[in-house]
Amino acid sequence: MAANEKPKDDRAEPGDDRRPAREFRMTELAEEAGITVRTLRFYRERKLIPPPRREGRIAWYNEHHLARLRTIGALLERGHTLGGIAELLAAFESGRDVGELLGLRPPLLPPWSEETPVRLSPEQLADHFSEDITPENLSASLDIGYLAVDGDEFVHISRRLLDASTELVHKGIPLAAVLEAGRKVRAHADALADVFTTLIRTHVLSDILERATATNPPTAQEVEQIARTIEALRPLSKGVVEAELSMAMDRRVQAELEQWLKEQSRDENADSN
């Protein structure tokens, strides 16, 4: 069987327009990945790649195995050990729940946020955060919801958050500290969202929501009215949060500066005495 052929019992069902997956024998997979058969066996024994599909005495590997081998090679080039890679891949496998993150069900209302998810290979993620890519940080990112796993890729929930996190790490802040700060910001953001949704529900949409029940859901016109109202309030809420955060930062930075100047003055006075 050629490397790009698929066994008859695994062909796509009628009406399935997906391309047949490539499958490889062990020697073919090793050649595609640029490694020796001995290395491939070693990786399999260390459970760095999932078991092959067996057809009698023949083991068949697929493109998922090839992608995994390329990821292992890329992480080794970046200085990760095989033990560390095994832990990373274990955390990677435990995070396979991209559907909830991306919201596969159509929302009742247009999304409030304007964030763009970013797809990353494991090696691309390592390029962003270098040695800070550890099993602990990866698990924390999955737990917060910054990352999910889809096939052989990560999905980061937001391009802006990814760029900000990357820049903070490059400025010397450990990724663990960035993630902990992100967890705290998320809690404060949830509290702010609660303030605004309560305001809207109580004073703008109360009549519609009071009429709505399980047997009498909002009409299409009422849902459209809710969507228009929320869309109109989007820039107002963002403006309030940005203004308050900016002023809070001004107050906090000024207080920190004044405290530092007082400490410097005390030190100078102590030295002069």
Residue 109's pLDDT is what? 56
Give 35's contacts (C-beta < 8 A, 6+ positions apart): 69, 73
Residue 21's pLDDT is what? 63
Residue 191's pLDDT is what? 92
Residue 251's pLDDT is what? 94
Ranges under pLDDT 70 in the chain: 1-21, 91-112, 151, 212-215, 272-273
CA contacts within 13 A on the Cβ side of 222 = 13
Alpha-carbon span 244 to 211, nearest angstrom = 35
Among the listed residues 169, 193, 176, the one whose alpha carbon sits nearest the alpha carbon of residue 136: 176
Residue 86's pLDDT is what? 80
pTM: 0.61
Among the listed residues 38, 95, 51, 46, the one whose alpha carbon sits nearest the alpha carbon of residue 72: 46
The distance from CA 219 to its chain's CA centroid, rounded to whole angstroms, is 36
Rounded to 10 degrees, what is the CA torsion of 13, 18, 20, 21? -120
Residue 256's pLDDT is what? 92
